[in-house]
Amino acid sequence: MRHIISILVENKFGVLARIAGMFSGRGFNIETLNVGPMPDSNFSRITATIIGDSSALDQAIKQVSKLVNVIDVTEFSKGQATERELIMLKVSVSPEQRTEIVQICDIFRAKIIDVANRSLNIEMTGNSNKIKAFLSLIEPYGITEMARTGGVALKRG
């Protein structure tokens, strides 16, 4: 099962490695991992999408909560959070195909951020289902490079 976990930590050396090691050491696959500083640069937020058993996850969350430098741990149940990813692509494109790709981008609210003779760089944000749908339409044109952030999430309300 897929779980989204948000961990507020002190911005210290080695914290991320200890947290990732704790999850992997207990048999969880970390599907995506995102880390960013908070407005107060003494803290960072880690958002992890983890694949694993629900009952074992509860125990793992308790153990993460006990780690030094961990302030708060929140697991988002389905529907409790707003989640987004960022994806950036370089797509091969002939001049004849450019209009088709622009139309696909418009439908998904993606932005073309660089134009060259034979390629376009595109950025898009959305949930994982929207990203998958967008990729399925763009892949036939030829993705030459891709960078994807993985999910970030905040609790609703």
Q: State the alpha helices, DSSP H only, in 14-96.
A: 15-25, 54-65
Give how many domains the chain has, as a whole number. Answer: 2
- Decide which of 43, 78, 113 is a domain's last residue: 78
3-state secondary structure of 93: coil
Domain boundary among 25, 47, 78: 78
Do 68 and 128 share a domain, yes or no?
A: no
d(C-alpha 83, C-alpha 80), whole Å: 10
Tell me the CATH number at 139: 3.30.70.1150
Domain boundary among 50, 78, 106: 78
pLDDT tens string, the chain, 157 residues long: the values are 888 899 999 999 999 999 988 888 888 888 899 999 999 999 999 999 888 787 778 888 888 999 999 999 999 877 788 999 999 999 999 989 999 999 999 999 999 999 999 999 999 999 989 999 999 999 999 999 999 998 899 888 8
**Structural domain boundaries enclosing 123:** 82-155
- For 26, list phi and psi in degrees, rounded to 5: -105, 15
Query: If 0-12 CB within 10 Å is exposed, 13-18 middle and 19+ buried, where does residue 91 land?
Result: buried
pTM for the predicted model, two decimal places: 0.82
In contact, 152 and 83? CB cutoff 8 Å = yes
User: Are 35 and 53 part of one and the same domain?
Assistant: yes
What is the C-alpha separation between 19 and 21, in angstroms, rounded? 5
